[in-house]
Amino acid sequence: MFVALGSNLGESRRTLGQAIERLAQLSNGPLLRSAIRQTAPVDCPPGSPPFLNAVVGFLPRPGETPESLLARLQELEREFGRRPRQGLNEPRPLDLDLIAFGGEVRATPQLTLPHPRAHLRRFVLQPLSEIAPGLVLPGQEAAVARLLERLPKDPPNRRPS
C-alpha cells in the first residue's frame, strides 16, 4: 500500500520525518521511502506556502483494511495538529492520503481507492515513481512512471536543501 505525505505549516521537514517513523510502525515489513520534495501548492487558497511531499510504501499488518488504515492515518494527522477543515486544500501541518491499498477499489463517502486524483498529480507521481515506478494503480493501464511522463511539464519538484 502507498501513502502520500504533505506538509506546508510548521516545521514540515521534521513533521514528515516523524510521520514516516510512525507509519513504519504500521508496516509488516520494511518501509519504502521516497525523497522529500518541495512542491508548489495545487488548488490551494492564494498565498498558501509551498509543500514538502513524499510517498511511502509498506505492507499492511494482518487484518488491516483500507478503512482501518484510513482511520489510523486520520488519527495521526490529528496528533500532528491537523484541525477540522475550514476550506478546500488549506495549509496544514500534515496531510496523509491513502493512494492505493493493493488492488482494492473503493468508492464510498469516506474513502475512494485508488486515490481519485493520484494519477494526475505530479507531487504524488514523482515520489511514487521513485519507489514503485512499475506500479499500475487500479483502473489505470499505464505504470506510475509512464503516467508521470504524460503529465504536462510543470516547474520541477525539487529536493529542499
Q: What pLDDT digit, counting tens, does each position of 66-116 carry?
A: 999 999 999 999 999 877 666 666 778 999 999 999 999 999 999 999 999
d(C-alpha 28, C-alpha 142), whole Å? 28
Decide if 155 is inside a domain. no
Closest CA to 56 of 3, 16, 6: 3
pLDDT score, position 6: 95
Is residue 2 exposed (0-12), middle (13-18) or buried (19+ Cβ within 10 Å)?
A: buried
pLDDT at 133 over 90: yes
pLDDT at 131 over 60: yes
Residues of the domain holding 70: 2-150
* CATH number where 31 lies: 3.30.70.560
Decide if 157 is inside a domain. no
Decide if 78 is inside a domain. yes
Decide if 160 is inside a domain. no
Residue range 35-56: mean pLDDT, rounded: 90
Is residue 10 exposed (0-12), middle (13-18) or buried (19+ Cβ within 10 Å)?
A: middle
pLDDT at 140 over 90: yes
Interhelix angle 12-24/66-79, nearest 10 degrees: 140
Residue range 138-143: mean pLDDT, rounded: 95
Joined together, the cell numbers standing for residue 99 give 493512494
Joined together, the cell numbers standing for residue 64 give 488491516
Structure confidence by residue, pLDDT tens digits, 7-37: 999 999 999 999 999 999 999 999 999 999 9
Decide if 161 is inside a domain. no
pLDDT score, position 70: 96
pLDDT score, position 44: 78
Overall domain count for the chain: 1
Decide if 117 is inside a domain. yes
Q: How much is the CA Rg of the chain, to the nearest whole Å?
A: 15
Decide if 159 is inside a domain. no
Q: Which amino acid is at 22?
A: R
All residues at 6 or more sequence positions from 18 whose CB lies less than 8 Å from its CB, including other chains? 80
